[in-house]
Amino acid sequence: NAGVMQNPRHLVRRRGQEARLRCSPMKGHSHVYWYRQLPEEGLKFMVYLQKENIIDESGMPKERFSAEFPKEGPSILRIQQVVRGDSAAYFCASSPQETGTSGDNEQFFGPGTRLTVL
């Protein structure tokens, strides 16, 4: 069972360009989360999606950032008109649909995409 896949692993963009980050969850997982880690900071939640639905986008910047998780295909985090402050590591995680009595499900993480804005 392949783990969470993210591509590209490294992405370089110039200011004003668009960045598209892809995340393929583990097989059978229908929940996807995006987190951002800025230099010298911890992980910050951005958005949580289930297939075709955004469950929680409370961590997404109001402008330039969007995310989707279509019925078919990977989840996409899109950053329009990138600025230097968007340089960070972006991590994707996925979790299963289990609804038992063992508390919150574990989230499984991808290797991250390191975005550098020149």
Q: Which residues bind other proteins (CB under 8 A)?
A: 3-4, 31, 33, 35, 41-45, 48, 50, 55-56, 58-59, 91, 93, 95, 97-100, 102-107, 109-111
And the tokens for 36?
């951002």
Q: Kindly state the smallest distance separating residue 72's Cβ from other proteins, in Å.
A: 19
Instruction: Tell me the sheet residues that pair with 33.
Output: 48, 93
Residue closer to other proteins, measured from CB, 18 or 106: 106
Say what the alpha-carbon torsion angle 103, 105, 69, 17 is, to the nearest 10 degrees: 110
Q: Smallest gap, in angstroms, from Cβ of residue 91 to other proteins? A: 7
Q: How many CA atoms lie within 13 A of 106 on its CB side?
A: 4
- Kindly state the DSSP code that residue 104 receives in the 8-state scheme: S
Query: How many CB atoms lie under 10 A from the CB of residue 14?
Result: 8
Residue 103 neighbours by CB distance under 10 Å: 6
The nearest distance, CB 69 to other proteins, in angstroms, is: 12
Nearer to other proteins, 14 or 104 (CB): 104
The residue among 15 and 44 lying less far from other proteins, judged by its C-beta, is 44
Q: Provide the minimum distance between the beta carbon of 16 and other proteins in the complex, in angstroms, as a whole number.
A: 30
Which CB, 82 or 93, lies closer to other proteins? 93
